[in-house]
Amino acid sequence: MEGAQPKQKLFSAVQPSGAVTIGNYIGAIRNFAVLQDEYDCLYAVADLHAITVRQEPAVLRRNTLELLALFIACGIDPEKCVLFVQSHVPAHCELTWVLNTIAYLGELSRMTQFKDKSARHAENVNMGLMDYPVLMASDILLYQAALVPVGADQKQHLELTRDLAVRFNNRYGSTFTVPEPFIPKGSGARVMSLADPSRKMSKSDENPNAFVTMSDDRDTVLRKFKRAVTDSDAEVRYDPENKPGVSNLLTIYCAFTGRDTAEAEREFAGKGYGDFKLAVGEAVADVLDPIRAEKARLLADKGYLNAVMKRGEEAAARIARRTLSKVYRKVGFYAGE
């Protein structure tokens, strides 16, 4: 249509580091399918980021394919967006090296995630852990992304990305779009552990009943919700301070049914926690069942997934190469006459 504004570019990436929880789904992946209709979206399987923590090579390869299949099963359409594997586009590493020369040791060592991961993986405090935010900046800046969906744990990294973009632009002239954080509608739901609602749901929890993954079958989902921590008061009411377990279950129920909290409270008025927990489990299972089936179908068609990866790699590389060529000229690399 004449005069139509071009869509803003939006970039996001997810690491293929094993099980994806329903918290990851609610907070990020399910929004990807919605955003692809409103923005010019690029979605990456961030396998380069994954190896900052030791990985079994065969497992990493399998997880990469599984995450790609999960993306598509959740409604991400490779025809509407650029869907690719990060390591397939060498420009990510190439731009990281250039940005390393304007990133300072002090700002990288202050990153909260670096401190946390260094404490958790004391036997493997590698330079990749420290340099992770510079690679993340390259991921975003390569594609001139205007918008980046971020959770609380990545806000600091996006701030560094913005700082590096501004620093480079000031030193070499206008080169990078300075990205803005983007909070999708309905993404504010924070999913907590089913066993300890004071902590965020995490796949690394030692208690397997504390989290629900996108691969859990219906019986497993129902069993985990049946065991979810509540309280001694029998009222289903949203009160995170006094009733964190029940409030977390209400958050999950509303996220998977589209109801608001007031509607859910009315629905369960006068009902016991047993009925409530079963209803939450069934609501989650009803959404996960078709996704799990579609993911299995896709994984059985490796030819299709390989074709998606190849097409995504080519589209991403074209955009990335334009930016990288500009960067190389700006910093003074000789490219021949």
How far apart (Å, rounded) are the C-alpha atoms in residues 62 and 83? 17
- The pairing of beta strand 147-149 with beta strand 82-85: unpaired
CA 66 to chain centre: 15
Q: Which of 7, 9, 80, 117 is catalytic?
A: 117
**243 is a catalytic site residue:** no
CA 19 to chain centre: 12
Return all residues near 227 (Cβ < 8 A) that are at least 6 apart.
194, 195, 209
In a 3-state reduction of DSSP, which class is residue 60?
helix
Report phi then psi at 220, rounded to 5.
-65, -45
Q: Which of 7, 155, 203, 226 is catalytic?
A: 203
Q: Which of 9, 80, 185, 200 is catalytic?
A: 200
* Unique residue bearing structure tokens 């995504």: 312
How far apart (Å, rounded) are the C-alpha atoms in residues 315 and 312? 5
**115 is a catalytic site residue:** no
**117 is a catalytic site residue:** yes
Closest CA to 257 of 281, 283, 238, 289: 283
In a 3-state reduction of DSSP, which class is residue 83?
strand
Rounded to 10 deg, the angle between the 127-141 and 155-172 helix axes is 70
Query: Among all residues, which ones are annotated catalytic?
Result: 117, 200, 203
